[in-house]
Amino acid sequence: MAYGALKAVTPFEGIPMRIPVLRRFGWLALMTLAMPALAAPQPQAFSARYHLEVAGWPDADIRHRLSHDAGHWQSEMSASLPGASGHEWGRFRLDDDRIRSLHYAAGYSLLGIRRAYSLDSSDLAPLPDRQSALVALAVRAIDDAPRETGRLRYRDHRGREERIDFRVLGREDVSLPAGRFEAVRVSLVEPDKDDRRLVLDFDVQHPGLLLGMEYYRDGRRRSRLTLTELSTP
């Protein structure tokens, strides 16, 4: 798949390249680093829906839910297109104000072909999964000063190590179909591939909740993600 972490819509990891619309969303939950202490607001449960637009391909809606049960947190995403459906989830806990991944699972169905992936705590001890890492990256971005930079390391759906560089761009208020929010903006670039860039907007009050995403290649925006619905307990 092209562009490292841009391998699939997160719930569709592994779907063949003949469905490139699904590859554009892989950055939603791919990122991790040495898990930060939670100086920023701690996770809060939410249920969200995003709308994904990719030039030349059908639009897609993605569901994202962060829940808490018996001391564990779980971040899960699901999406569907005609003839295809997929899901991905990661479970983590907070130990001494740090995020620690416990389990990851993903699967998809494409024209009757099904695949499933799973990582356990031993796989995730050195590097966490993408879903848990989404929350960790948001916490780091909320807590960091503008122009802060770093390198993220994470496990992909097969347990392979991936890396990405990030820069915190700053904060701004954004108006969306789901309401008005304060966002922290983060730019991500794969090492040695600076012609491709992803810009993520995280909600400052709900670590892990995406407000928007834009993917650029060769200076042109190729896809866009927008938060359209949000509910909180």
Give the mean pLDDT per block of 10 residues along the chain (233 residues).
30 36 40 43 90 82 92 90 84 82 90 89 88 86 82 85 89 94 92 84 93 90 93 90
Check if the beta carbon of residue 182 is closer than 8 Å to that of residue 170: no
Rounded-to-integer distance, Cα 96 and Cα 76, Å: 23
What pLDDT is stored for residue 37 in this prediction? 44
pTM over the 0.75 mark: yes
At 108 the pLDDT is 84
The distance of Cα 42 from the centroid of its chain, to the nearest Å, equals 17
State how far the Cα of 187 lies from the Cα of 198, in Å rounded to an integer.
6
3-class secondary structure, 102:
strand
Show the domains of the chain with their CATH numbers. Answer: 10-231 (2.50.20)
What's residue 170's pLDDT?
A: 93
Q: What is the pLDDT of residue 63?
A: 94
